[in-house]
Structure 1
């Protein structure tokens, strides 16, 4: 029984001493012989920096190592981050600090470790709070831990927890002391356990400097970092550079479309004194459409078929009031361009002298050769430096490739916790490249000049009247101009202008009677619509008109 009373008295003395005189104890005070004791003094400066002094006594023959994590999880994807600096040791031991942890390794004797901490003051609701763990991460048991805290103004509250991380067991004692500081004591702290002190502060006692970072999961992977910020900056530079390049290449076209159209003389007098139609720069109807919109469309082929009839390669006749027949008049010769020959042979292959539109509908003609030849023609004429379709395809696939690479990079970086936002930057760049592919084909200077002349040609189709043309030349001028009216969407106006003039056409008629211009004006739009429909079924070309 005396033994038990003696032990109780010893505990009482230790508890009273810890509570009443913690700040007055001499450095290195330990509880029992052969055990580790720690006296920790915390002082919060006005600038928010916390200075820490740890006086630790290690018994002979022993060692003590403390590892303090400086990234403390506050949620599944967020860490509270502390920054430790100015680490020094007086006595037998060493101490080092990195971005992730503070390590203190002590040998027998009494050692004093000093350091400063940034990030201990946090604004929690309307309350300002200082929080630090004066004891944690020790690899050996501590007989006692004595803590004193000095704050710039009188503290408002104190909460001291001790034990396994995550538990809410209170310290042996903790109070506000003399009103200017806090004192706390924990008797018997096992290895790996911690003492966690939270002190409520007066408003304005120190600036809140707690730092919380995203550390895992998608939120962290897609956080804005210097690396992703640089990637975004690079993307902006890339887009601006691409925009300037397109502005330079497209500027000629914009000026051609915005400038006043000068006179374009398409009606000239030949050597015999007759008035004839002459297209600007020798452009053919199908080429006009391709130069204007950079695509080979169904209407380009339809206008070419009409032009072949006007130039006496094909005769067009209406049969049974609802169908049309194409009849071979002259064979394809060297006067035809590559794409015109392709159109002629698709319409009337070798051995075929006549074919109806309904027969073509069932045959599903292949126009891929026409498309390829027409794109090759506009390059050969130096209106484009490269085939527009190949240019679009090249940049589209490049954009798709960059986008896919960016998506793969995003997934990989997200899985490994890297800067996944950088991958999204690459995806955006790829999408921009793919979307901008349609604008990549650029006309040459000659092509831009032709674009302006085409505007003048459209003006001619709007303003010309039969009275401008000698009566003997009207049929020829009307017919030679008609394919250009078709491709430029001016067919109805051109027909209406000449419908009341001399009847008869040399290249279009009915099976049982000669051509009549009035009836032609009524039936020709239906013919164009039917031909467009058959060609659209063939595929390979866009079906947009005009």
Structure 2
């Protein structure tokens, strides 16, 4: 009985040993415990010859996990950092060449090579022939440039596993063989704690090992050998150029940068002070639009102009508004609308909800300026072949299109009047184009000046010159003597409207002075002061308004107090309507472009 039990135990132990031999024996390596491909074993041997050229042999076991793979990928750095020279970081250029790839397990051994500035990537296998399970590879390559002779000895800087490598390694060992014994050695990884890569050194070489090396975790081995261990080492270095290297602040760099910047600054300011200044007649009377024929033209600051109670002769508010601003503004369109109403081309009505309604009158508009006709067309468009006769601020804000044509027509009208030496939009475009060209040229010089010559301030100076040209854009439009005379008259009239004095108004000969001057007050931005004055005069009974173009809440301007002052809200309401129409047109244009 006892002998039977003993026999059963022996048989059981034998079966267990057989199972372990099948599972762990050399013929069947252990499978990876992950779904991702992994190196279960990775042994790398580096042999250095007398010239420092390394022959590397990699013996590895690759497991595809539960999936398939085209094969492993191995990455090697193309440069490694070495001791600095003259305080600047240096890099040794490496040459990586695969000489042979074999697979004892029969896996495909084709090699596809790609490279970047810093890395050589070798993909082993065949994309059209996927592999599964465990495969064995033996890779041989040659690396030139790992050894750097220094004053303290011959330095070997070896990135045994590159930081961009995407494969984990369960077990990895590294061996370095050289013509002489090492004096010091060190092994470190990027992600694992210190001491996780033990390294030993003896007369036969240097050995290091690491376990559970994650993907993208580099292994760096540094070994020092006695000076002279390696002879005739081929050295190819690159110096890491920092931002300070690009801008060395040498005398040549500083002088050149300042010269370019000063040329741009002086040229821009000089242009603004000469070509960008208004011309005017050297007349003793400010605003004189018909001086004697022999009156000379001068440049300089605007003169102090006397107060005027009348607008500039033979001008319209929208045109003078452009003359003041040198570009179109919404209040110029609003002033034109009110001026057209005052002149009998439409009427204005304030509704119970404080909105505004416009009604077109039969007055013929054929004699109007182009920009005035565009205002009427925008407010009263054709619908099914018939012109609408009523509109409102709400409908104007939702109108198809925008008031862009009105803005462009105002600019063309002022250009035709000869009030500017060069049309403002054209003058600004010239300045903008010239400034952009200079800036682009400065950016293009970054390649030779910064990249190769270390003269970064030269490029900065050129770009600064372009910025100076762009900065003078608002000052490039300059007025002619005729334009300056109109401007002086307009400024004198603005003084009167800004602080109106009823005692200065010639009530007998001024007609409906309130209506006639209201568009000008709008374009000068003082309509609130002007309407407030006449509301006060109306409430006091000193002024009886006769506004054929302005209908009150109940048909009489006397029905409700504050009715004249309410006209100031017409300005803001119509300004908002014009802005909303422009935004709507821009949004529709953007949708059309995207389609």
The partner residue of 1:357 within 377, 383, 393 is 393
Partner in structure 1 of residue 580 of structure 2? 537
Partner of 2:306: 262
Aligned to 1:29: none
User: Shift of the alpha carbon at 1:394?
Assistant: 3.1
Structure 1 position 307 matched with structure 2 position 339: yes
The runs of 5 or more residues in structure 2 that have no matched partner are 1-83, 91-147, 155-227, 234-238, 281-298, 538-542, 585-595
Q: For this pair of structures, how many residues does the alignment match?
A: 336
Deviation, 1:331, is 4.5
Q: TM-score, normalised by structure 1?
A: 0.55
Q: Deviation at 1:340? A: 1.4
Query: Which 10-residue stretch deviates more, 301-310 or 405-414?
Result: 405-414
Distance 1:473 1:465, change over 3 A: farther
Q: How far is the alpha carbon of 1:468 from its aligned partner? A: 4.2
> In the TM superposition, what are the counterparts of 1:10-409 in structure 2 within 5 Å?
73-76=85-88, 165-167=150-152, 216-225=241-250, 226=252, 229-252=255-278, 258-262=302-306, 264=308, 266=310, 279-331=311-363, 333-350=365-382, 351-363=387-399, 365-409=401-445
Relative to 1, partners in 2 of residues 1:313 and 1:473: Cα closer, same or farther, differing over 3 Å? farther
Higher helix share: 1
Q: 1:442 to 1:518 in 2, by over 3 A?
A: farther
Q: Distance in 1 between matches of 2:450 and 2:150?
A: 30
- Structure 1 unaligned spans of 5+: 1-71, 79-162, 170-187, 194-213, 267-278, 542-546
1:451 corresponds to which of 482, 487, 511:
487
User: What is the distance in 2 between the residues matched to 1:191 and 1:446?
Assistant: 87
CA deviation string 1:232-277 (max 9, x = no partner): 31431332122122112444489886532135462xxxxxxxxxxx
1:326 Cα offset (Å): 0.9
- Cα distance, 1:376 vs structure 2: 0.8
1:483: Cα distance to partner?
Answer: 0.5
Stretch deviating more after TM superposition (492-501 or 374-383): 492-501
Residue 218 of structure 1 deviates from its aligned partner by 3.0
Q: Would the aligned equivalents of 1:256 and 1:448 in 2 still touch at CA under 8 Å? A: no
- Following superposition, the deviation at residue 496 of structure 1 comes to 2.5
Which of the numbers 567, 571, 581 marks the counterpart of 1:528? 571
1:6-26 superposed Cα distances (whole Å, 9 cap, x missing partner): xxxxxxxxxxxxxxxxxxxxx
Contact 1:371–1:540 (8 Å) recurs in 2:
no
User: Which whole-Å deviations, capped at 9, do the CAs of 1:418-446 have from their partners, x for residues lacking one?
Assistant: 42322222221222222322222222222
Superposed, 1:468-483 pairs within 5 Å as 468-469=504-505, 471=507, 473=509, 476-483=512-519
Deviation at 1:464, TM superposition (A): 4.8
Q: Is the 2:374–2:405 contact (alpha carbons within 8 Å) kept by the matching residues of 1? A: yes
Compared CA separation, residues 298 and 253, structure 1 to 2 (3 A): farther
Contact conserved, 2:253 with 2:456, CA < 8 A, in 1?
no
Number of the residue aligned with 1:442: 478
**RMSD between aligned residues:** 3.4
Deviation at 1:503, TM superposition (A): 3.3
The answer as to 2:466 corresponding to 1:430 is yes
